Structure 1
């Protein structure tokens, strides 16, 4: 099967490309560095020529209100080019519970991306993942101040990027879901406890202070960012990932 991975040089994309090649698929990684730009459409027609499946793993460079414009333009260009090329399956990576947090600009923008895909006239699949383990350090940095890190008790269920890539590759190589597959890590942590586990594992002497008003995850209500019923649960545990 010929599969094009847009954003195929990034954290998830490079692993998806590797996995699909190992399975024997004809896979190409498309990115600005390979001459493909979703925002301008440059190189898109050439990249999608003969493709059976396209996987869109591109992401907005910002998490503010400008992210909606990124997803609108990039999806418009991708869907138009995919229809013209006769692509039979379009896949995007999204976020578990994304439609339950309208307070966040970026989450609203990702919902827009999903809606554009559903309305785009192509068979499609949406893979929703929980928060990546690789991004926990960044989350801690948002509310770090001197020797303390302020974090809310928001429940998260972190998943390793390698497990996300495996799930995306599986969906890309299969029949269109015309729906959503949710994937998550095996453990739920309150974010403040996740911070403590992370700092302890790294020998970081900073102290986590529980503050339910701190950072972007403070607006999340309940456990909407954890695995819903029927989600696929990956095997990598957070402490094992840290140790590795």
Structure 2
């Protein structure tokens, strides 16, 4: 019959688990399922994970969580240790810096003696008095360690006033197990550290402070020494002695 195209039978193809054949019409790309196979069901591959795959994924995720947790725990411990160490050092640095500053401002004055003991030290220095420390006067600065409060205290008073009571002392630093002052004079007689300074006419060449702290039941010692350029005191007329 004219105008009618006959089907071009081609080999059956296995496509997605079904037998199909194509028509000879080149303008039609539709695929027709073979009537002989239509209506039959074929098993498909399951789209979900098997039990073994699920267990493997769970094991991998558990390992990742454990590793991340260990890293975070280690980081927190390092941070705590660093913070504790820095806090202790900063507390000691405040006291050491203030002592160094006062010793740098010390001056030879015959009427105020330099007195040094193992737990306290006092020396002539320029002190600030008046409203908001607006006036500078010659006076005495004293540092001492109090074992009861585990603190380093500072006192000052202007000349010729007497030493006030300890209730006027200012707490400089705290948290110390012990604080010790040592003194060294000029050689040959003063070339070693001494626990006391009794020379009324001389100022020690160097003053050392040893601060003992406890960190996690381990003792930590911080030491700093200060060198003085003034080693002699003057009398009231200004002559060297």
User: How high is the TM-score relative to the length of structure 1?
Assistant: 0.21
| Bigger Rg, structure 1 or 2 | 2
More strand by share: 2
More helix by share: 1
User: How high is the TM-score relative to the length of structure 2?
Assistant: 0.21
Q: Which has the higher contact order (CA 8 A, sep 6+)?
A: 1
